[in-house]
Amino acid sequence: MICAALGMQAQGNNSGLGGNDEGVESLAERVLGLEKKNDMFNVYFNYTASARTDDEQGPWQSGFKAKELRFEITGRLTDRISYRFRHRLNKTNAAQKIDNFAKATDMMFVSYRLPGDKVELTGGKVCQMWGGFEYDENPMYIYQYSDFGEYMDIFFGGAHVSYKPVPTQEFIAQVTHTDNGTTDDYYGCRPVAVHETGETRALEQSKAPFTYIFNWNGDFGKGLVQTRWAAGIQQQAKGYTSKVVMLGQQLTLPRLQWYFDYMERWDDVDRYGIVTSELMDRFLGGDYTPTTEFIDHGSVEFAGNEFGHYFTDTHMRSFVTKARWEFAPKWKLMLKGMYDVTGLRKQAAYKDYRKVLSYLASLEYYPVRSQDFRVYLAYLGRHYDYNKASALDNRYTNRIELGFMYRIKCY
């Protein structure tokens, strides 16, 4: 009843972490018989929860977990003006220092399409327009990201311009903040960059901490083959940058969808903190002291150290493939594989010291055709393979989930 009273309906077929409305009935349509009159004010609740058992943190543990809980409003006020707001209900609402948005707010932007319908301007808190289909998928549909995607922080204040010379081809140029807070907020108190020679330098706040992205989205054969390619550069701190390339391609058939993503990044400072958390103690001869305060890097938190030491010249590349096959009415099989390679670019012993192979399978049941609702049983396995120089132990982890995903369309 609350949803119906709001009088909203979410947009469909929208890229940028959205969903597909095709054939989905709203609660107001089903319960009250209300007819949709316009597209000015629309709402979704994105909810995913599961019962799970895993050995990812050591001995097997079981419990219930709400993985995603997000509230979303979208609308098109005129033929040229549209907006979008999405907010996480299980994340901090404290305003950040740089853009004054809460971390819980994914997006709050306004778009204006210029006459001629080929150019659109967008500004506010936006999603960075990187490439790849894992990246573009709504988080509620993701059972497990690759390491590359898991550690990304992607929602920032900024603006972009998109240009469609033809309806099937889109080019986007975007500028956003690199972080929500200062260098000290992101990398810890008095952060220090540790070079391969052992030299250390203080990380200073950049005067222009921006990320610059160029994106191409292509559509061929009336949706048969699609591409999402992007490249960009991020200003991490004064004198230190990250360079990122993300290339995604997808095949869409009536009962089968398959995509393959290739992603690579070169960081002047260990932005993800993976290498730092695993090797810094060995590199500093046991002087690495974790703190009790965790630093939020995207969807993952990890402990830094009290002096904020971070490696320089880290490198990561990832390969992700995913297929979803509707093998029977209301039933789908999802298979996904991920391979992440991480290391230090300028140190041969640690160049590709960490390799993670992940494999995931899920059986999905859609009980109601007119709702974006699924019940699933999934298994995730991961193999962490370290080289001898790292002196780290190889390990396997497993996770089993029984849960549901429901993108609730209210009107």
CATH code of residue 383: 2.40.160.10
Please give the pLDDT value at position 180. Answer: 87
- pLDDT the model gives residue 181: 85
Distance of CA 330 to the CA centre of its chain: 28
pLDDT greater at residue 303 or residue 136: 136
Helices and strands, counts by H and E, the chain: 6, 20
One-letter identity of residue 231: A
Domain that holds residue 381: 2-409
Cα–Cα distance, 201 to 195 (Å, whole number): 8
Q: What is the distance between the alpha carbons of residues 311 and 318, in angstroms, rounded to a whole number?
A: 20
- pLDDT value of residue 280: 87
CA-closest candidate to residue 376, choices 152, 155, 51? 51
Whether the CB-CB separation of 177 and 193 falls below 8 Å is answered with no
In this prediction, residue 196 carries a pLDDT of: 84
Strand-pair partners of 202: 192
Q: Is the pLDDT of residue 293 over 50?
A: no
Q: In this predicted structure, which of 5-19, 36-50, 107-121, 243-257 has the lowest mean pLDDT?
A: 5-19
Whole-number mean pLDDT of the chain?
87
How confident is the model over 235-261, as a mean pLDDT? 97
Q: What does the alpha-carbon distance between residue 404 and residue 50 come to, in Å, rounded to a whole number? A: 6
Please give the pLDDT value at position 33: 60
368: CB partners within 8 A, 6+ apart: none
Of the ranges 16-30, 39-53, 76-90, which one carries the lowest mean pLDDT score?
16-30
Q: Residue 294 pLDDT > 50, yes or no?
A: no
> Which tens digits make up the pLDDT trace of 33-79?
666 666 788 889 999 999 999 999 899 999 999 989 999 999 899 99
How far apart are alpha carbons 21 and 125 in whole angstroms? 24
pLDDT attached to residue 301 = 46
Cα separation, 126 vs 221, in Å, equals: 30
Q: How many domains does the chain have?
A: 1
- Could you tell me what percent of the chain has a pLDDT over 70? 85
Going by C-beta distance under 8 Å and a sequence separation of 6 or more, which residues neighbour residue 388?
A: none
The predicted model gives 69-94 an average pLDDT of 91
